[in-house]
């Protein structure tokens, strides 16, 4: 049985998907039992060369959604509008939708999935986190019954590429960013990547899948990588860590905590070996243990492969005529106050090299309920670099201690404060 497919967006992913649907038509049918028929691909600029024959292209977005032979709409335009309106328009007509748009899912997930549920159709988004890595389906299906405790993800290839190059080549942030832009790993405006916004959208989606709690992309605490210095990469390595930008979701006694920040990751942790533009997500559960999902987080072919898997899945459901129950839930749940979240910190202080300074600093931490796990000091003339790794304490106490340390006469600078992830 045939299912007509309309694609919104014929760029890197949409163009590759269109070509796959045409070239691999028979293989897909014989492997999956569904015959997928490409109907149209909507683009903005009809003059651009495409990865698929020109007769499939149109610049009339609505005509693709409204075409009666299109039963399944694939949104691969990106951004919020007009993607959001078009997805809602397709769902309202009872058409299944597949998207790779994390920004859209993280911003409007509850509304979109409510609309899909009310029409009993699929809204699938495997490629929205981790590109080509099968991740959403394992989390939403295979692990649906597990009480997951923690999800740690390297979900932004650009920042992982930058941090990996800073680590292996000792080059500074600005220098590596420029190279990443030249090689096409970073956008001309890299803010969404290096500022943590892209990872925050993915963290919100991962937390909804892992814990059934919705925070939304804007509700995720975030710190990017723009302040990371090569000194801390070097010192971190001496202490047994490497620095990664992590999306972290945790089910804690204080509630579900979702955040994005650079973190010192122990060198023997599986995420430490994820280098370059790769993505990986490490999932922990009491029954299932530790699971690692790793692979290409972007790129036309890997991403279109993940999208195609969703298209086949949604087509099967359309053909079966079943009412589809959404695979993601948006419970209000209990979200942790950020100040209550337990964190461990690596801290680099530039201090006066004088007797009693270390005791004074340890005293300030102690006054705020933060105990120190290890200290390392290097003197240089009248100044010294002090590296501290704290034990776990609440974010509120850690930040209050750091504020008090900043105001000490003997402390010239809190040069870095980076969270540490326990293995």
Ligand X SMILES: NC(=O)c1ccc[n+]([C@@H]2O[C@H](COP(=O)([O-])OP(=O)(O)OC[C@H]3O[C@@H](n4cnc5c(N)ncnc54)[C@H](OP(=O)(O)O)[C@@H]3O)[C@@H](O)[C@H]2O)c1
Task: In angstroms, give the least distance from the CB of 312 to ligand X.
Answer: 18
Q: 132 vs 285, which CB is nearer to ligand X?
A: 132
Q: 298 vs 384, which CB is nearer to ligand X?
A: 298
Q: 303 vs 344, which CB is nearer to ligand X?
A: 303
**Residue 354: CB atoms within 10 Å:** 12
Interface residue list for ligand X (CB under 6 A): 9-14, 42-45, 48, 61, 76-78, 82, 100-101, 127, 131, 298-299, 303
- The residues with which 246 forms a beta bridge, in sequence order, are 261
Q: 77 vs 228, which CB is nearer to ligand X?
A: 77
Query: Which tokens is 206 given?
Result: 């991962």
Helix, strand, coil share of the chain (percent; to 5): 40, 30, 30
Task: In angstroms, give the least distance from the CB of 207 to ligand X.
Answer: 19
State the DSSP string of 131-150: TTS--HHIIIIITTTS---E
Nearest to 153 by CA among 248, 242, 225: 248
Please tell me the distance from the alpha carbon of residue 154 to that of residue 52, in angstroms, as a whole number.
33
Which residues belong to the active site?
202
Query: Which tokens is 236 given?
Result: 């971190």
Task: In angstroms, give the least distance from the CB of 217 to ligand X.
Answer: 13
Q: Where are the beta strands (DSSP E) in 189-229?
A: 221-222
Q: Which helix (H) or strand (E) holds 419?
A: strand 411-420
Q: 34 vs 41, which CB is nearer to ligand X?
A: 41
Task: In angstroms, give the least distance from the CB of 301 to ligand X.
Answer: 9
Comparing every residue's Cβ against ligand X, the nearest one is 11
User: What letter does residue 54 receive in the DSSP assignment?
Assistant: G
Query: Which tokens is 403 given?
Result: 């504020």
Task: In angstroms, give the least distance from the CB of 365 to ligand X.
Answer: 42
- 80 alpha carbon, distance to own chain's centre: 17
Nearest to 269 by CA among 420, 408, 115, 64: 420
Residue found under tokens 């988004």: 125
Task: In angstroms, give the least distance from the CB of 51 to ligand X.
Answer: 10
Please tell me the distance from the alpha carbon of residue 323 to that of residue 326, in angstroms, as a whole number.
10
Q: 9 vs 153, which CB is nearer to ligand X?
A: 9
Q: Three-class SS string for 319-338? A: HHCCCCCCCCCCECCCECCH
């Amino acid at each position: 049985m045939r299912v007509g497919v309309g694609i919104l967006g014929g760029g890197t992913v949409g163009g590759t998907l269109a070509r796959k649907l045409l070239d691999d038509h028979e293989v897909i049918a014989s492997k999956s039992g569904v015959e997928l028929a490409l109907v149209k691909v909507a683009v903005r600029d009809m003059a651009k060369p495409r990865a698929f024959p020109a007769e499939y292209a149109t610049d009339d977005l609505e005509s693709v959604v409204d075409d009666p032979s299109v039963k399944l709409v694939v949104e691969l335009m990106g951004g919020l509008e007009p993607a959001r309106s078009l997805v809602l328009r397709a769902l309202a007509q009872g058409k299944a939708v597949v998207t790779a748009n994390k920004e859209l899912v993280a911003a409007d997930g509850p509304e979109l999935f409510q609309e899909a549920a009310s029409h009993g159709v699929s809204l699938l988004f495997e490629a929205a986190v981790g590109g080509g890595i099968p991740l959403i389906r394992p989390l939403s299906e295979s692990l649906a019954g597990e009480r997951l405790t923690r999800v740690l993800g390297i979900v932004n290839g650009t920042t992982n590429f930058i941090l990996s190059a800073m680590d292996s080549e000792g080059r500074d942030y600005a220098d590596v960013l420029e190279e990443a832009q030249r090689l096409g790993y970073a956008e001309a405006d890299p803010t969404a990547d290096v500022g943590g916004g892209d990872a925050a959208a993915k963290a919100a989606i991962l937390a909804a899948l892992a814990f059934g709690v919705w925070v939304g992309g804007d509700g995720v605490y975030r710190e990017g990588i723009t302040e990371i210095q090569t000194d801390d990469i070097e010192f971190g390595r001496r202490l047994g860590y490497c620095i990664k930008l992590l999306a972290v979701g945790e089910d804690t006694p204080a509630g579900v905590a979702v955040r994005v920040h650079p973190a010192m990751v122990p060198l023997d942790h599986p995420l430490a070996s994820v280098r370059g533009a790769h993505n990986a997500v490490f999932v922990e559960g009491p029954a299932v243990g530790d699971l690692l999902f790793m692979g290409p987080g972007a790129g036309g072919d890997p991403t279109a492969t993940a999208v195609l898997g969703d298209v086949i899945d949604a087509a099967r459901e359309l053909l079966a005529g079943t009412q589809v129950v959404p695979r993601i839930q948006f419970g209000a749940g209990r979200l942790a106050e950020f100040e209550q979240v337990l964190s461990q910190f690596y801290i680099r202080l530039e201090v006066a090299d004088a007797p009693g300074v270390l005791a004074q600093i340890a005293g300030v931490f102690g006054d705020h309920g933060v105990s120190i796990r290890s200290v390392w000091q290097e003197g240089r003339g009248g100044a010294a670099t002090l590296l501290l790794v704290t034990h776990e304490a609440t974010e509120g106490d850690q930040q209050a201690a750091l504020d008090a340390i900043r105001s000490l006469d003997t402390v010239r600078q809190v040069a870095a404060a980076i969270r540490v992830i326990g293995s």
